[in-house]
Structure 1
Amino acid sequence: MPSKLWPYITPGIPDELFERLPGIPMSKREVRILLISLLQLQSDSVVWDIGAGTGTIPVEIGLLCPQGRIIAVERDSDVVSLIRQNCDRFEVDNVEVVEGSAPECLQDLSPIPHRVCLEGGRDIKAILAEAWKYLQPGGRIVATASNLESLYGISEGFAQLQVRHVEVVQSSINRLERRGGSQSFEAINPMFILSGEKLD
């Protein structure tokens, strides 16, 4: 059933509709649209979102894939509560929020995923390698990097895991913002989005 707050069948929920906490990162609207398109979702996809932050990706996927199941992983209890608030806000009932630290907690997740979304992490290469173990054959993984260290870790991890059909996109987005009596374009921090497939 569609959300009253976002009664559409497209991604791209405006950022301001989500509840926020100071200092908790949030994938911006335009980046989410890119990321979700690269996941190549199906209506019943099982998706693990590791490092779910504010919960924007689980909410968007939950609305787009009503027969799917999304597992959102976060280590901080306050952030876990925030994700649940946003799921309730958008009336999403197919998201399970798991409080735990990746990669250690991944072995306890079920069911195993068709898609993995990896949004940052202190040891992103180790998280990537562990998530890859559980990704179903034919599944896709999408990972984001906002700094050089993460980009290098993901790139090296993709090579070692022999991820196939790799794509790398860098977002370069400017939004028209009002500042006093004038309007100007403000840049959104660039983000690398890496994606690929597990063939066997």
Structure 2
Amino acid sequence: MPCQLWPYTTPGITDDLFEGLPGIPMTKREVRLLILSQLRLKKDAVFWDIGAGTGTISVEVGLLCPEGRIVAVERDEEVAALIRRNCDRFEVGNIQVIEGNAPECLEALADSPDCVCIEGGRSVREILTAVWPRLRSPGRVVAIASNLEGLYAISESFSALQARNIEVVQSAVNRLEKRGIHQTFAAADPLFVLSAEKLS
């Protein structure tokens, strides 16, 4: 549902509307749109955002799924507080922020998710292994990798879990920026977006 800060029904909130912290990466709008399309959300989805960072994905899902239940998992206390502030900025009330290390903190979550987003992390194999039995069927997982090692780890984990309909997309986003008197295109860091389904 629209809010005062973003009074639109379309996703793709501009990055500058979110509060950030130095050194904490923000999922850029264009990549966010790709992730949201891969999640295939329903209005009442139960969604886990693991490694939520600034909370951009959680906020977008909260607005898109007004009847949904969103859990944003973040291990850093200061960053978790940032997610809460961003939820307040966008008047989103259906997001629960969990401070803790994944996958250990996932055991305490009550609801089984319909879809999960894993936004990086060193423990991606362990997180996927812990998430998969909890994921409803049919259910979807979208995982983000910023390097080849992460890409291989997620791909191998999907294979070991017998995931179905695996897709891999590499984002390539260029934005027009003004540098001095010239305008030039600046490339955003490319990311691998992997998605898979649990069908049984």
TM-score normalised by structure 1 residue count: 0.98
* Amino acid paired to 2:136: Q
Question: Counterpart in 1 of 2:136?
Answer: 136
Return the alpha-carbon distance in structure 1 between the equivalents of residues 179 and 131 of structure 2: 43
Task: Give the superposition deviation at 1:153.
Answer: 0.6
Please give the per-residue CA displacement for 1:24-68, whole angstroms capped at 9, x wherever unaligned: 111110000000000000000000000000000000000011011
Matches of 2:182 and 2:63, distance apart in 1: 36
Question: CA–CA distance in 1 between the matches of 2:178 and 2:110?
Answer: 45
Partner of 2:102: 102
Partners of 2:62 and 2:181 in 1: CA distance: 39
Q: Residue in 2 aligned with 1:71?
A: 71
Q: Aligned AA for 2:176?
A: L
Residue-by-residue CA offset, 1:103-158 (whole Å, 9 max, x unaligned): 11111112110000000111111111111121001000000000111111100000
How far apart are 1:180 and its partner, in Å?
1.7
Q: What's 1:89 paired with? A: 89
Q: Which runs of 4+ in 1 moved over 6 A?
A: none
Distance, in Å, in 2 between the alignment partners of 1:78 and 1:173 is: 29
Q: Which residue of 2 aligns with 1:195?
A: 195
Percent identity, aligned pairs only, is: 63
- Residue number in structure 2 paired with 1:165: 165
Structure 2: which amino acid aligns with 1:5?
Answer: L
Give a deviation string over 1:46-104, Cα, whole Å, max 9, x none: 00000000000000000011011100000000000000000000000000000010011
Tell me which residue corresponds to 2:153.
153
What residue in structure 1 maps to residue 15 of structure 2? 15
Alpha-carbon distance in structure 2 between the residues aligned to 1:157 and 1:7: 39
CA distance in 2, matches of 1:153, 1:95: 29
1:82 alignment partner, SS class: helix
Where does residue 34 of structure 1 map in the other structure?
Answer: 34
Aligned-partner Cα distance in 2 for 1:179–1:111: 48
- SS in structure 2 opposite 1:3? coil
Aligned length: 200
Report the TM-score when normalising by structure 2.
0.98
**Long gaps (5+) in structure 1:** none
Q: Distance in 2 between matches of 1:22 and 1:178?
A: 22
Are residue 49 (structure 1) and residue 49 (structure 2) matched?
yes
Considering only aligned residues, what root-mean-square deviation do their CA atoms show, in Å? 0.7
Amino acid at match of 1:108: A
